[in-house]
Amino acid sequence: MNGFATKSIHGGQLKADVHGSLRMPVYDTVSFEFESAKDINQAFAGRKPAHTYSRITNPTVEDFEQRIRLISGGSAVIAVSSGMAAISNVILALAGAGTNIVTSKHLFGNTLSLFERTLKPWGLEVRYVDMSNPAEVRRAIDENTRAVFLESITNPQLEVADFKAIAEVSSGASVPLIVDGTVTTPYLFRSKEFGANIEVLSSTKYISGGATSIGGVIIDNGNFDWRTSPRLKDWAKKMGPLALLGALRREVFRNVGSCLAPHHAYLHSLGLETMSLRIDKSCSNGLDLAKFLQQHEKIASVNYPGLPDSKFHKIASAQFGKRYGGILTFDLESREACFKLIDNLHLIKRATNVNDNKTLILHPASTIFCEYPDEVLSDIGVRQTMIRLSVGIEDFNDLRNDLARGLALL
Amino acid sequence: MQITVNGENNEVKEIEVNLSKLLELRKVESPEMVAVQLNGEFIEMNNYSSTYLKSGDDIEFLFFMGGGSK
């Protein structure tokens, strides 16, 4: 079983279902019964392989985790309640007061808020650098750096870093490199092959089947020596390469209570089965729409890594196998023109999310980033004239016609 | 020989037993999802077959449910 789609469809299930169900059933239960007091003691101590309580593990969630492990090539996976839970769990497991993380100036708005407004007051220093400049990353790392964090394609700036170059810097400093691969997934980007140590994803997007339910994933790529991590070295003494998994499952993830609901895990496993087909269509629609918009007289500029004139086209081609994801942005002459175009559309939905089956349109500055003043927006590359399009899997002609009609009314 | 596995005394009849064999004897279905400690020390998976047990050894198998593997 070598192919990505084959693994997505046939992977997972660790034990045969008692009724021969071809799909892992939804185990909508909180707890699991044991035959004796000794049995339940052994399970709690980790000396017996058994589910005890669904906040910690659950058979349907485990099936989804095993599928992700198989398709990603990672060594350990924990499914969590959202992409934000994936990021927060990992940072809580690796860093703490008096330490720092190095990250990009260009981040998803809620990730920026997590770092700036939630974790900073607990004593975490966040150092923002230009990830297209590995030397700047190197200068920002010191003995208190616990992680380097960046997105595979930044949202909404659509910047693509040279991951091998960043990984060389982080591994040279014995600092784990965390990649948020939400918009690429392991289908487009093999983060382990490019030196990332941990991948976090919002499985709400492509994985869930096109925005069916909220979820997240943490993948330990198995290529970092956790004995060098100040926070995890004791776990590494007990569990070796499973140290991050142990620290999460038996401490942070368990204690924070960020478990994925079994029903969501079922939907996400179902979504995985068709994910590669949907991503292919989303990427081809994205490229075709970017080319269409680039030719349109009312569009000031289009940003999409798939366009040859994008400054990230070359590195994106090398890293993502010549597929560039389903997000593009374009600029109109004013914020008012952006609002008017959004209101002019009939088919494309006015909604926040990315990688839905439906194409979605959003004005990032007035929505995801509405809590930030203009000077911050300017610094992070979010313009009042910018529109974000998350391209779905509809027929291209219908999408083009909807945009053409909307633009004609400006 | 007498060894302790997960806190319980065990009599092993085989003369030469390494950790791979012990996992097999204990019918561990997914060895890649178990962390093994020998006398308090974590043992790397690729050292299982070269790690032979002796009488009095204390072995801990720590099972990981969910998406773990070494």
Measured CA to CA, the distance from residue A65 to residue A265 in angstroms comes to: 9
State which amino acid sits at residue A275.
M
Q: What are phi and psi of A207, to 5 degrees?
A: -65, -40
Percent of chain A with pLDDT over 70: 100
Q: Does B46 touch chain A (CB under 8 A)?
A: no
pLDDT at B70: 47
Q: Averaged over A137-151, what is the pLDDT?
A: 98
pLDDT in tens, A166-209: 999 999 999 999 999 999 999 999 999 999 999 999 999 999 99
Nearest CA in chain B to A50: B65
State which amino acid sits at residue A142.
D
Q: What is the ipTM of this complex?
A: 0.83
CB A78 to CB B66 under 8 A?
yes
What tokens does B7 get? 């806190």
Confidence of residue A210 (pLDDT cuts 50, 70, 90): confident
Average pLDDT, chain A: 96
CATH superfamily of A276-408: Aspartate Aminotransferase, domain 1 (3.90.1150.10)
Min Cα–Cα distance to chain A from B16, Å: 24
Q: What DSSP element (H or E) covers A402? A: helix A396-408
Measured CA to CA, the distance from residue A52 to residue A44 in angstroms comes to: 7
List the domains of chain B with CATH numbers: 2-63 (3.10.20.30)
Q: Does A49 touch chain B (CB under 8 A)?
A: yes
For B63, the closest of A48, A78, A241 (CB atoms) is A48
User: Which residue, among A230, A244, A8, has the nearest Cα to B64 in the 3D structure?
Assistant: A244
For B67, the closest of A48, A65, A246 (CB atoms) is A65
CB < 8 Å to A246, chain B: 35, 64
Using alpha carbons, list the distances in angstroms from residue A118 to A67, A121, A367, B44.
32, 6, 20, 38
Measured CA to CA, the distance from residue A135 to residue A131 in angstroms comes to: 9
CB A222 to CB B70 under 8 A?
yes
Instruction: Indicate where chain A has its CATH 3.90.1150.10 domain(s).
Output: 276-408
CB A57 to CB B37 under 8 A?
no
Using alpha carbons, list the distances in angstroms from residue B55 to A103, A192, A351, B39.
52, 42, 66, 12
The CATH architecture assigned to A4-264 reads 3-Layer(aba) Sandwich (3.40)
- The 8-class DSSP code of residue A330 comes to E
- With a cut of 90, say whether residue A305 has pLDDT above it: yes
Query: How confident is the prediction along chain B (70 residues), in pLDDT tens digits per residue?
Result: 999 999 999 888 888 899 999 999 888 887 888 899 999 989 999 999 999 999 999 999 998 876 655 4
CB < 8 Å to B68, chain A: 75-77, 242, 245, 249
pLDDT at B68: 55
For A238, the closest of B7, B35, B66 (CB atoms) is B35
Min Cα–Cα distance to chain A from B33, Å: 9
Instruction: Indicate where chain A has its CATH 3.40.640.10 domain(s).
Output: 4-264
